[in-house]
A and B are shown apart, each in its own frame.
Chain A
Amino acid sequence: MPKYDLFELVTHLKKCPEIFLKPSNLLSRDGLDSIALISDTYRMVSAIFLKKELNVPAKINFNSIDDNYWKAIHISCWLLYHHSFRNKPALENKLRLFWFEGLYHVTQYVKYKEWITDEERAEEMVRLLLLCFEILPNGESIAEAADKLSSISSVDRQKVLRQSYEAHERIMNIKREMAEKKAREAANTYGRE
């Protein structure tokens, strides 16, 4: 059983070659052959090199995957090229969960480039993958790993930021209105208080 060192994986991910950042050939003519890339990755993880059919859930429609999402999948394939994921047939079935559920939600908030340029997003992809694989990063307990993922989760963060931004904006608007001259002229006072 290899040690899944988080930082080693993050470092590996950030070295992702340019080629993986090309668009999918399903969206662009001279793009990357996404299906082939996925198949390769399956074969590498499962170690069954003759495997033909893809283990893709029926409800997934490749045509509905947008450019940003495809590129995230491409990048994650590079992550999965890391030697610690090779020949791990037990992980094969979990790949689907990672690609088509875990990654799906988060790609709505993360621009593909951030997966390899932003330290925290890189860590998020690694942690997300390890979570789907039910692997604990080296040296971490279940609780620690869960907390660390939740503290960098783009999905959670998005929700919280929107709330705190809106609440703050409302406060600033009230403050601004309070300073407005029109508010300060007020209205008739009829008695003393």
Chain B
Amino acid sequence: MYNQSEIEKTAAVWKSHWQQAKLEWNPLLRLQEPIWCLSNQEAQKEGLTGSFAMIRLTDHRIVINLEEIVALGISTYFIEVLAHEIGHHILAPANLYDNAILLNRIRYALPGIEDRAPMVSNLYTDFLINDKLQRINKLRISEVYKAINSEDNFSELWTLMMRTYEYLWRLNRGELAVNWSFHSKKIDADASLLASLIRSYSKNWIQGGGRFAVLLYPYLMDDKTFNDARKKILILLDAEDAGSGAIEISGMTKLDLEGYDGVIDMRKEAIGLKNDKGNKDNLGIEKSKVGGSGPRNSYMGPGNYIDLMKQVNPNADEQRLINAYYKEIALSHLIDFPVEISENVSLDLPEGLETWDIGDPIEELDWLQSSIASPVFLPGITTQKRTYGSDSDHNISEHPLNVYIGIDCSGSMMNPKLNFSWPVLAATIIGLSALRAGASVMGCLSGEPGTYLETEGFITDETDLLTTITSYLGTGYAYGMERLRKPFETEPNKKSHIVIVTDNDIFSMLDSDTETNQTHWELAEIALKNAGGHGTMVLHSQPDYQKDMVIRLKKMGWNVYYVTNETELLKFASDFSQQNYAYA
């Protein structure tokens, strides 16, 4: 424990220099004062462990642990440390969205070791900030490193980092890289490349992330070496968890092809070899596979999306992420919100204003309200967006039919968290369109014999619906016809579409023994009648298959819609939504 009065004295000095530190960046900067923690316990409560400072992009805060600062003997570097932290908010990564893009690009360059991306991102943004502060603002960043570095915190990686600063700032060998035992020609050569990278990409820094990560790859590829190196510099990692607590950041599901092309080995460039794309033998470092999924193969896979977003926000809830993933891809296929406020009350009642943040879609930004709020435009601070009321408080329109969506979730289906699932996308499109139109939706996953998972009847809650349809069972062989009993054994209050997404195996299910007097065929007929007569079986099958049974279904009044490849499911879902829920 350090002398409490010394910590308090330091706190007073640091507080009094906050304004000055902001001046290093922008006199108009509106950033809340840091959270000053006087003890490690206080810092821990703020989520700050391991280091003496950190940033939080979610609430635009800086957290400073003054006990640690006193312990490290850097209490006189208030401007340097504060300006550095501000730099993470102003320059890089600056906001949740850019943070996520940078992380994604770095991940491309670290195939197999994507888990290192947050640290690499932190080191990279440190370079950008520190180089500006040292060279342009003439702050004593190098002195801070001298104060913190000891021979013990060196590894090959850290030597590379410190040698790079020596190159950038023309310091003598060993001024920062004090542990000479790690010095080597290899590190010198790499440091010189990194220094030129930092200089060249100081403005378009997002573009340099891939190159930076490729160069670091050999220093990170061994687990133990990486963990040791990371442990030794933990004290300096102030932005690894910058996005912690962030809710969904939109726009990240799309593949970042530009970022993919930015994965370039500078060693190879420097020795005059071209980075031929696609040439396996000639690619010194291989990128992670792009592996486009979903419509037009232009989205990243759900597994990769979850991994990325968990690096953005380590506390992110996987289910929320997977909901957001399918919703975001579904968005462009949904029916439009009703233009007028008609009796079909839905989700578009403007209810109030909220701060529009960098992570939000640009379309949601309400320019008018933002300019009323403040003449100065500061993203995430003065920007506003409208919020819309949930429809649950209103009377549901009589007109649109409800919809029951049953999805085959048997062993032949893929887990939508690991692989892109077309049936789940289709269900999301239909379900969300119906909600937009003011209808209620019942969702049911079924893999039977085995298990099923369904919403509690017809609901209007988007999250509950998405959580149900993006889950996974992987049991049995088909959608269980028995599931139609609960909603449709008797006539529900309101008519409903029935949509069942399944494959040929449904015929075995229809024929299977129910051990009761009622066959599945009979149940299918009764359910359709009670629902109001609108039912569609979407079959992943060749049109000719099981002709007799198809005729039998059609006679009952079922529509049978064939899809021979899964992308056709998308067409079905958008057509269905347009026909049944779009406003004229």
User: Do chains A and B directly touch (beta carbons under 8 Å) in the complex?
Assistant: yes
Q: In the complex, what distance in Å separates the CA atom of A157 from the CA atom of B192?
A: 9
* A-B pair number, CB within 8 angstroms: 68
- Any A CB within 8 A of the CB of B271: yes
Q: Give A118 to B196 CA distance when docked, in angstroms.
A: 8
CB A10 to nearest CB in B, in angstroms, measures: 9
Using a CB-CB cutoff of 8 Å, which residues 280-296 of chain B contact chain A? 280-281, 283-286
> Chain A residue with minimal CB distance to B191?
A151
Given A152-B167, A165-B267, A176-B286, list of 19 further CB < 8 A pairs?
Answer: A119-B199, A120-B192, A120-B195, A147-B173, A148-B170, A151-B173, A156-B189, A157-B192, A158-B270, A158-B271, A161-B193, A161-B267, A161-B270, A165-B268, A165-B271, A168-B218, A168-B284, A169-B284, A176-B280
Q: Is A192 an interface residue (CB 8 A)?
A: no
Q: Measured between alpha carbons, how far is A112 from B167 in the docked complex, in Å?
A: 21
Contact with B along A152-178 (1 / 0, CB 8 A): 100011101111110011011101100
Shortest Cβ distance from A162 into B: residue: B271
Q: Give Cα A155–Cα B405 distance, bound, in whole angstroms.
A: 68
Interface residues of B in 520-534 (CB under 8 A from A): none
With a cutoff of 8 Å between Cβ atoms, the chain B residues found around residue A7 in the complex are 170
Sample (22) of A-B pairs whose CB atoms are under 8 Å apart: A7-B170, A120-B167, A120-B192, A120-B196, A147-B172, A148-B170, A148-B172, A151-B173, A151-B188, A151-B192, A152-B167, A156-B185, A160-B185, A161-B193, A161-B270, A164-B189, A165-B265, A165-B268, A168-B218, A168-B284, A173-B281, A175-B112
CA distance A130 to B496 in the complex (A): 87
B190 at interface, CB cutoff 8 A? yes
Chain A residue nearest in CB terms to B265: A165
B186 contacts A by Cβ under 8 Å: yes
Question: Secondary structure of the B side of the interface?
Answer: helix
Least CB distance, A165 to chain B, in whole angstroms: 4
Contact of B189 with A160 in the complex, beta carbons under 8 Å:
yes
A144 within 8 A of B: yes
Interface of A: prevailing SS: helix
**Selected contact of B172 from candidates A123, A144, A163, A168, CB within 8 Å:** A144
Question: Which of A144, A156, A158, A164 gathers the greatest number of chain B CB atoms within 10 Å?
Answer: A164
Q: A20 to chain B: closest CB distance in Å?
A: 22
The CA-CA distance from A157 to B196 in the complex, in Å, is 14
Question: In the complex, what's the smallest C-beta–C-beta distance from A171 to chain B, in angstroms?
Answer: 8
Residues in B whose Cβ lies below 8 Å from that of A6? 170
A151 touches B284 (CB 8 A): no
Interface residues of B (CB under 8 A from A): 112, 167, 170, 172-173, 185-186, 188-190, 192-193, 195-196, 199, 217-218, 265, 267-268, 270-271, 273, 280-281, 283-286
Within the complex, what minimum Cβ distance (angstroms) separates B164 from chain A? 11
Instruction: Flag A122-150 by CB within 8 Å of B: 1 or 0 each.
Output: 01000000000000000000001001100
Enumerate chain B residues within 8 angstroms of A168, measured Cβ to Cβ: 217-218, 267, 284-285
- Chain A interface: which size bin? 20 to 34
- List the B side residues contacting A171 at CB < 8 Å: 218
Chain B residues whose C-beta falls within 8 Å of the C-beta of A176 in the assembled complex: 280, 286
Asked if B188 contacts A119 (CB within 8 A), the reply is no
A165 — which chain B residues lie within 8 A by C-beta?
Answer: 265, 267-268, 271, 273, 284
Within the assembled complex, what's the spacing in Å between the Cα atoms of A173 and B280?
9
A169 to B193, CA, bound (A): 18
> Chain B contacts of A158 at CB under 8 A?
270-271
Q: Give the Cβ gap from B297 to chain A, nearest Cβ, in Å.
A: 23
Q: Taking CB as reference atom, which chain B residue is nearest A170?
A: B284
Please report the C-alpha to C-alpha distance between residue A87 and residue B190 in the assembled complex, in whole angstroms: 40
A172 and B284 within 8 A (CB): yes
Closest CB in chain A relative to B222 CB, distance in Å: 11
Given the interface contacts A144-B172, A147-B173, A176-B286, does A164 sit within 8 Å of B192 by beta carbon?
no
User: Please, which residues of chain B bring their CB within 8 A of the CB of A169?
Assistant: 284-285
Shortest CB distance B183–A (Å):
10
A95 vs chain B, min Cβ distance (A): 26
Q: Whole-angstrom distance between the alpha carbons of A175 and B186 in the complex?
A: 22
**Considering the chains assembled together, what is the distance between the CA atoms of A183 and B189 in angstroms?**
35
Point out the residues of chain B lying under 8 angstroms from A148, CB to CB: 170, 172-173
Contact partners of B281 in chain A: CB under 8 A:
173
Q: Which of B193, B217, B268, B284 has the most CB of A within 10 A?
A: B284
Docked CA distance A120–B267 (Å): 16
CA distance A161 to B281 in the complex (A): 18
Q: Is the Cβ of A172 less than 8 Å from the Cβ of B285?
A: yes
Report the separation of the CA atoms of residues A184 and B281 in the bound assembly, to the nearest whole angstrom.
Answer: 20
Query: In the bound complex, how far is the Cα of B540 from the Cα of A33, in angstroms?
Result: 77
CA distance A140 to B189 in the complex (A): 22
Chain B residue at minimal CB-CB distance from A10: B170
Out of B185, B189, B286, name the residue touching A172 (CB < 8 Å). B286
Q: Within residues 42 to 63 of chain A, which ones have a CB less than 8 A from any CB in chain B?
A: none
| Distance in angstroms between the alpha carbons of A149 and B189 in the assembled complex | 12
List chain B residues, Cβ under 8 A from A151: 167, 173, 188, 192
Cα distance A91–B436 when bound, in Å? Answer: 83
B53 vs chain A, min Cβ distance (A) = 30
**In the complex, are the beta carbons of B218 and A164 less than 8 A apart?**
yes
Cα separation A175 to B283 with both chains bound (whole Å): 13
A77 to chain B, nearest CB (A): 25
A117, chain B: closest CB distance, angstroms:
10
Contact with B along A28-44 (1 / 0, CB 8 A): 00000000000000000
Q: From known contacts A118-B196, A119-B196, infer whether A164 and B173 are also in contact, taking CB-CB under 8 Å.
A: no
- Distance of A151 Cα from B280 Cα, bound (Å): 32
The residues of A that contact B265 with a CB separation of less than 8 Å are: 165
Query: CB-CB < 8 A to B188: which residues of A?
Result: 151, 157, 160
In the complex, chain A residues whose CB is within 8 Å of the CB of B268: 165
Nearest to B199 among chain A residues (CB) is: A119
Contacts of B195 in A (CB 8 A): 120
By a CB distance below 8 angstroms, the chain A residues around B218 are 164, 168, 171
Task: Give bound CA distance, A151 to B267, whole Å.
Answer: 16
